[in-house]
Structure 1
């Protein structure tokens, strides 16, 4: 059966399970928009007033649904606005299929308004970029894009589609969808089990692949089978191990020298689904201490031995691989229970100290950062999703939040500010029965404020918590650590009234007057029926 190009696109979206299109409309997308409006069973169009928010919404939606999200951007300028979100998605390995309408080919050589090198713009931020020049190539390229977006390492794929091509009356064939077999368990697990069972001081680094695939339950079995403390990878984007578990040892910091010092207390480490160690600040030397035995497991073969040598490098799907590894380790480590108890006692004491320090900082506003982070952590409903883009307060929140449900924590390691508001909207659309609490720094929120328009339009019950310290605090702290004198130029934002900003976009807002009030507001996130923004003044 033949389809006109725009209808062929819709047919492929249906087959790929796409039920929403995230976009900002423009002239070059009009043929596609017309097809959306005319088809009775077309995906819902979810608009944004800035492409940064559009791509971030798609990112949050893809993470919540576990399947690729579809994005429609407008020509060169719209793609440029969306690049920040694409860079974040590529870093976080979020599967997206992104199209942008190119100018009409019949006058493209005349450099018409809005035209540009779309593929050249997109290529550094995506896994692959396709320039579609023939209608019959569009269906095949789309099928390829959806398959490539989810293939390890997952990420965004881009297609440039000329306006006149999409409007052609030519009929094209839609190739059937091919079901790709799932990756199975890794080979070499016997060797990995031998190394872990022989270890006197084993540890695990839980990478974001564990949360993405997901393989949380299977990693718990492995950790308990050998009594290994588990560290989150630096600046983890997912919950990769429950923070309530006795073996949870916290997140590794994004510096090689501190990672090396932390891992030096162990003799063997299992690194599961971690993209290198994603350092932020440079420090000399490798991330791993000398003499450490390394077992590395990943679904992406390019990760094995990429940044450090592995004594056993395993390629396979994480969940079945870890499940089999746990079976191979069962009853081979007699001291596992004792190790687990010892680690649990140590970690419980460390968490109690952090809790006590945070509670001691409670006060009326402006709040101490520790108190604000604790109030959020203490108030979270049991099934809440935390979307965190708070930088400095986010580091404190990671230490205090007792999250244990898969998918309950979302972050963007890409570093492109402004992701959090849109991502929270997309996550709420993906899981409508689950409370979503977005914890945002004031600097981050400024970059993504337009996402509040979509939050109001879609009436998503998201609690936006904006931590206002009036500065790019992480930059100031780094500047001071490097010996900088005075205040780093350009880092003072001043006190900002986010209640006014929220109300402009049609979002109700309130200012937190105390840590106790903030905790109560967070606890009520599950009762929301529309978005609410909480402005939290912090001490400078």
Structure 2
């Protein structure tokens, strides 16, 4: 027996575990909204007042829950507003299923207002896009979208659905879901064990695939089994290795010359779940130093050998693959050798950590606060179990060197680079993990792009601490301008003095200005006691 199209859509959403719809509706979504209002146990509709915030909330929610989030956008204009979030999601490999309501098919040829080629518009920002022209195609396409969104490489999938498709006077069949096969270790692990086990100076680059696939514990076992020094991939999106571990050497800088220098001391390198090292600024030459033997492991076969040759290229789910590799390495590397390497690495890394810690503490002062001190205040103020959502650009680079985190999901960023993600992503994470303190660390320039997300934070009473680092400029642009030898002030980079407490008040969010680094630390420490959103405006020294 069949089901009406709009109700079939809801049935599939419930079956796929969707408990929230993130959206900003228009007339083309009215049939869907009607079905939501008339259905028991329907997903909650989470309203955003701009599609950028809508997609960012869904992004944060999907990362926290580990399953695709569902987004509802409105025609060409709404999709265009949401594209920045979809670009971020694609780069960060966040699984989203997105519907965009199209105008009624019966007058599409007349070019009605707000209509457009939604599939072509979305194509660069999504894994796949489907143009639904018949009601009986909708259930199959929707099932396909959920499966494709999580298949490596994960990402957003779009369905363009004309308004009248959902109101067709017909019944459609709902296909049953197909369980995904259980993940297994990659073939060829034995070869990887031979290479790493025979290394004199092994190292590992912990890519974002480790965090996405919940393989952090497995990577720790692998690193400890051979005593390999571990670096985060450049501009890592999540915590892929505990920053408290003695083998942890910090994040690789996002430039090929700096990566090459950092990796020069090693003879064998395991690259686990990293997307091609993603440089930011161009520097000549390859990322890897000559003579380095590379073992590359990824769940996405397209990553193997993508930007550099690998002696052993392995395709498989990271968690079972790394556990198997750790077992093999324990048979090949003497325990005393691995522990000796870890002891020496821990001593080196402790010296660097102490140096950074001392410099940051020495910078404490009343506002305006030095960037090092602001980053330190946040890092040391974090309550136990906190999740950091970071879009602070310049201060964020300092924060990464100071945080002491060891639990999965405790640090989130987007390598997509589309500003305005942080506020919405933090709201989405708070909705997904009630009871977990969420601290969003934002640059003032980034916050300006996503202010509308504060409306949803207030509407949802999301207990998020928004920490806005206000240096009054696009500081990273000014730094790059100076590095390239620019003369005089950098045009178009000065934001001036901004009062974010007033912006927060407009959206109904409580706010306070940090009076000193110590005051900021105390405010961050109280994040776990929040019952609603609070914004902290932090004046930063230029």
Place the TM-score, normalised by the shorter chain, in its bin: over 0.9
SS at match of 2:536: strand
Superimposed CA distance per residue, residues 206-232 of structure 1 (whole angstroms, 9 cap, x where no aligned partner): 000000001000000000010011000
Tell me the CA shift for residue 183 of structure 1. 2.7
Counterpart Cα distance in 2 of 1:370 and 1:501: 26
* Counterpart residue number, 1:200: 200
Counterpart Cα distance in 2 of 1:345 and 1:430: 39
* Counterpart residue number, 1:99: 99
* Counterpart residue number, 1:41: 41
* Counterpart residue number, 1:481: 483
* Counterpart residue number, 1:183: 183
SS at match of 1:330: helix
Counterpart Cα distance in 2 of 1:480 and 1:108: 51
Shifted more, 48-57 versus 174-183: the winner is 174-183
SS at match of 2:130: strand
* Counterpart residue number, 2:305: 305
Superimposed CA distance per residue, residues 462-499 of structure 1 (whole angstroms, 9 cap, x where no aligned partner): 00000000000000000000011111111000010000
* Counterpart residue number, 2:461: 459
Counterpart Cα distance in 2 of 1:278 and 1:24: 33
Contact 2:128 2:158 in 1 (8 A): yes
Please list every run of at least 4 consecutive aligned residues from structure 1 whose deviation after the TM superposition is greater than 2 angstroms.
none
For the pair 1:396 / 2:427, whether they are aligned, the reply is: no
Counterpart Cα distance in 2 of 1:190 and 1:145: 35
Tell me the CA shift for residue 182 of structure 1. 2.6
* Counterpart residue number, 2:262: 262
Superimposed CA distance per residue, residues 212-261 of structure 1 (whole angstroms, 9 cap, x where no aligned partner): 00100000000001001100000000100000000000000000111011
For the pair 1:220 / 2:231, whether they are aligned, the reply is: no
Counterpart Cα distance in 2 of 1:151 and 1:197: 31
Counterpart Cα distance in 2 of 1:539 and 1:331: 53
For the pair 1:234 / 2:245, whether they are aligned, the reply is: no
* Counterpart residue number, 2:174: 174
* Counterpart residue number, 1:139: 139
For the pair 1:519 / 2:521, whether they are aligned, the reply is: yes
The answer for unaligned runs of 5 or more in structure 2 is none
Superimposed CA distance per residue, residues 442-471 of structure 1 (whole angstroms, 9 cap, x where no aligned partner): 000000000000000000100000000000
* Counterpart residue number, 1:124: 124
Superimposed CA distance per residue, residues 491-524 of structure 1 (whole angstroms, 9 cap, x where no aligned partner): 0000100000001000000000000010000000
* Counterpart residue number, 2:422: 420
Tell me the CA shift for residue 180 of structure 1. 1.4
Match of 1:362 among 361, 364, 367: 364
Counterpart Cα distance in 1 of 2:321 and 2:116: 46
Shifted more, 194-203 versus 182-191: the winner is 182-191
Counterpart Cα distance in 2 of 1:356 and 1:382: 23
* Counterpart residue number, 2:151: 151
Counterpart Cα distance in 1 of 2:188 and 2:518: 52
Counterpart Cα distance in 2 of 1:182 and 1:431: 26
SS at match of 2:101: strand
Counterpart Cα distance in 1 of 2:464 and 2:169: 43
Tell me the CA shift for residue 382 of structure 1. 1.7
* Counterpart residue number, 1:437: 439
* Counterpart residue number, 1:27: 27
Q: Over the residues paired in the alignment, what is the CA RMSD in angstroms?
A: 0.5
Contact 2:269 2:293 in 1 (8 A): yes
Tell me the CA shift for residue 10 of structure 1. 0.1
Counterpart Cα distance in 2 of 1:370 and 1:333: 40
* Counterpart residue number, 2:293: 293
- Map 1:32-71 onto structure 2 (within 5 A): 32-71=32-71
Counterpart Cα distance in 1 of 2:482 and 2:183: 47
Tell me the CA shift for residue 331 of structure 1. 4.3
* Counterpart residue number, 1:108: 108
TM-score (norm. length: structure 2):
0.99
Tell me the CA shift for residue 404 of structure 1. 0.7
TM-score (norm. length: structure 1):
1.00
**Count of residues in Structure 1 that have an aligned counterpart in Structure 2:** 540
* Counterpart residue number, 2:380: 378
The answer for unaligned runs of 5 or more in structure 1 is none
Tell me the CA shift for residue 74 of structure 1. 0.5
